Amino acid sequence: MEYSLATLCAMSKPVSHYFSLPHGEPTIPQNVRRTTARAAGITLEFSTGAGVFARGGLDAGSRLLIETALPRGDWPEGAHLCDLGCGWGPVGCFAARLLPQAEVYLCDINERAVQLAAANLALHELSNARAWCGDGLDATRGDCFDAVLCNPPVRAGNAVIAKLFADAERGLRPGGVLWVVLRTAQGAKSWQKKLAAQFGACETVAIDGGYRILRSMKS
């Protein structure tokens, strides 16, 4: 499948770093560790490492996001999905494997995380996905994506989370859906109210292990 990230990018705001096949093998960071993760009935192997979120393996929140959002979506042929704040790429990798007809884009501000994400895409030969390093969706045009999946970096603070959600709203096409996972104890109910005000509605579609999956549709 041919890709053109340039078609998603605003000409005035080029991406800062861009890692992908088939334009060359991604650089794999040093001191990586291998882990396996199982979600939605499949098992994948990943490289993780220091300096990234959940370096020990797939966290429970991301697993719940994968198992809730990906099977439930009515994905059209060639759907554009974004793993926003991708870390080392588990959500995006599972999305690309589970939805081979989709085009999956992984984005994170952490260059090391994106290098790992790109390496993990290459490991599984997921040619329907690519990763880039940038500050949220600043580099993309509006109305690009059918879905944005986000496990936001709570420790980065509310301002960072709010920016990611604002980016997601701008980046979604009309009818596109934002899927978010947050801990109840870390403000999920409060963020649901804020997303409801932002999008017009926000529903809780799953609760498990202290996590909530929130869903908002762009009108």
Whether 137 and 167 have beta carbons less than 8 Å apart is answered as: yes
pLDDT of residue 111: 86
Work out the average pLDDT over 37-64: 87
For the chain, give every domain's residue range: 16-217
Helices (H), 10-106: 60-72, 90-98
Segment 30-42 mean pLDDT:
88
What does the pLDDT look like over 98-132, one tens digit per residue? 999 999 999 999 888 898 999 999 999 999 999 99
CA dihedral 21, 27, 31, 32 (to 10 degrees): -10
CATH dotted code for 16-217: 3.40.50.150
Report how far residue 157's alpha carbon sits from residue 176's, in angstroms, rounded to the nearest whole number.
26
Contact 85, 133 (CB under 8 A): no
Binned at pLDDT 50, 70 and 90, residue 17 comes out as very low
The model's pLDDT over 160-208, given as tens digits with 9 standing for 90+, comes to: 999 999 999 999 999 999 999 999 999 999 999 999 999 999 999 999 9
Joined together, the tokens standing for residue 113 give 């995380």
The bridge status of strand 145-150 relative to strand 17-19 is unpaired
